[in-house]
Amino acid sequence: MTTDELIRNLKSESYGFPFFRKLVKEGRFFTSEIRRDIEKRSSDTLLFNRHINEVFEIKDPLFEECYEAVTNGEGDEKRKIHSLRSSSLLGLLAFYKVHSGQRIEIDRTINGHYVHFIFDKVVFEKTNRVFHPSLGLSSIDVALYGTGNNEPCVLYLESKFTEYLEGKNMNERYSKDGKVTYPISGKYTEYYHSLLPNFPGLSYSVDNKGICLFSNDEKQHYCDGIKQIISHYIGAKNSEDLFKGLKVYLGTILFDFYPSNSNVDPDKKLLGDYCLLYSEIAKRMNSLGQQNLIVIEDAWTYQDFFANTGEYHLDPLVKEYYCL
């Protein structure tokens, strides 16, 4: 099965999304007229015609506060979140209950060290200054506040749903040779010069248009994920949380479309490929030695995380729809 076929089948019963057809039958998506307009823009994007809390039968009145936080943030999520393929939607549905008083208590091994986390506060679209405000902000999908081994901490998580399968985002600017250029200030270049030399699978160049990331091994890699985690690292390094004395953990959490089958080709390899790229850049960022900033060197998955959250319960329809 190709990646395009996988994305088209994300909502089919045979690929773990039986709830999709129930939603369609109950009229919880846009009418056919609007859907045709959507398909002109993206044949595999389906949007909700009701508020998200109605779609997933969420009764919690505090959900609306979290929704507003996501859609009014710096990450331009208001345009994206009503899509079934939205990673910010998944992060919101998965973690909003922390805002309603449910704690997440979970044990993780972080870079070889055991950490017992207790999280009792969540912030969505947490912004941190990268350099000067005019150069933009790092907007992390989910920030969980609490303790790690009884020490005050925050966990920054970048959420990914289908992005790593597609290899690129719509806002990336590709040239004919497949390279992607980010119009980034020269202040970024010192980080790229420190982090990306001899990087397996990727190369970069810097010119007056910005920084160009591209594959050097004839494979398609998810370049934007590497660019984002570097920006989030710079943002975390400059964050108020770090200056306030919190230990900051930075990581990514991915949705695994084949959690029970590690031998599916070629698409399972796309998850593995990005996990390897992410792990390598995380290790290199840790080597920079920023005190109290720990980049988690293993990419997490939603499936593994929510299999170990104990008393923290997802809404029934969220759990069913995403098979968590």
Residue 288 has pLDDT above 60, yes or no: yes
d(CA 172, CA 213): 11
Task: Specify which residues 193 forms β-bridges with.
Answer: none
What's the pLDDT at 5? 46
Percent of the chain past pLDDT 90, that is, above it, reads: 37
Q: What is the pTM of this model?
A: 0.81
Q: Quote the CA–CA distance of 227 and 238 in Å, as a whole number.
A: 17
Cα separations in angstroms, 153 against 115, 186, 217, 220, 236: 11, 31, 39, 36, 12
- pLDDT value at 266 more than 80: no
pLDDT at position 72: 76
Burial of 281 (0-12, 13-18, 19+ CB in 10 A): buried
Predicted confidence (pLDDT) per residue in 5-45, tens digit = 444 444 443 333 444 444 444 444 333 443 343 334 333 33
Q: Tell me the percentage of the chain whose pLDDT exceeds 70.
A: 69
Gap between the Cα atoms of 48 and 55, Å rounded: 8
| pLDDT score at 76 | 55
CA distances from 311 to 118, 203, 292, 321, 324 (A): 12, 44, 29, 20, 14
Partners of 145 in the β-ladder: 121, 154
Q: Encode pLDDT of 235-256 as tens digits.
A: 999 999 999 999 999 999 998 8
Cα→Cα distances 193→20, 130, 197, 211, Å: 45, 17, 6, 11
Residue 243 is predicted with a pLDDT of 93
Angle at 212 between CA 210 and CA 215, to 5 degrees: 175
Name the average pLDDT for the chain. Answer: 77
What are the start-end ranges of the H helices in 111-252? 163-166, 189-195, 223-237, 240-243
pLDDT of 271 reads 84
**pLDDT top residue among 64 and 92:** 92
Q: In whole angstroms, what is the distance from residue 315 CA to residue 167 CA?
A: 30
Query: Residue 16's pLDDT is what?
Result: 36
